[in-house]
Structure 1
Amino acid sequence: MKPKIHPEYHQVEVKCACGNTFTTGSTNREIKVDICSACHPFYTGKQKFVDAAGRVERFQKKFGGQYFAGKKGAPAAPGKA
C-alpha cells in the first residue's frame, strides 16, 4: 500500500441548524447539517401522515373504477398449464 495517499481521518463535531451537536469520524474538518435525529419529525414523533386516501379517491373519480376491470368476454391470457 502506498503511503500518504489516503486523507487523514479524525474526530469531527457535527453541528445541526437546531443547535444539536455530536461527534463522528470523518475526513472533513467540520460538518454542518440542516436536519438531525434530534429535530427530524420521524425521530421526534411529530410526523404528519399524508392523506393517501385522497389520492386513491381522485384516481377512482378520474377513471371511474373501470381502470382495472377487464373487458367482458375477452379471452384469457395464454399461460402454462
Structure 2
Amino acid sequence: MKKGLHPEYNLITVRLADGTEFQIRSTLKGPVYVSDVDATNHPFYTGVRQFVDRAGRVEKFMRRYGKVTSQGHQKPEAEEEGK
C-alpha cells in the first residue's frame, strides 16, 4: 500500500437520536458522530407518515407571485389596474 494515499481509520462514537451510543471505526473527523435520523424515528421504519400542508404552499405562492394568466405569465400591474 502507498503511504499517504488512504485516510486515517479511527475509532469514533456514534450517538443515535434516541441516546444510544456505540463505537465504530470510520474515516470521519472528530471523536463523536451525532445522528438526527435513525431506525427509531425515520418514517420508513416507524410506519408513521407526515402530511405536508399543500394548501398553505399554494396560498404562499399566490401571495408571492400574484395572479397568473392562462399562458402562464404574470400580468403587469398597470394592465390589471386599467380593467
TM-score normalised by the chain length of structure 2:
0.46
In our comparison, the structure showing a higher alpha carbon Rg is 1
Q: Relative to total residues, which structure has the larger helix share, 1 or 2?
A: 2
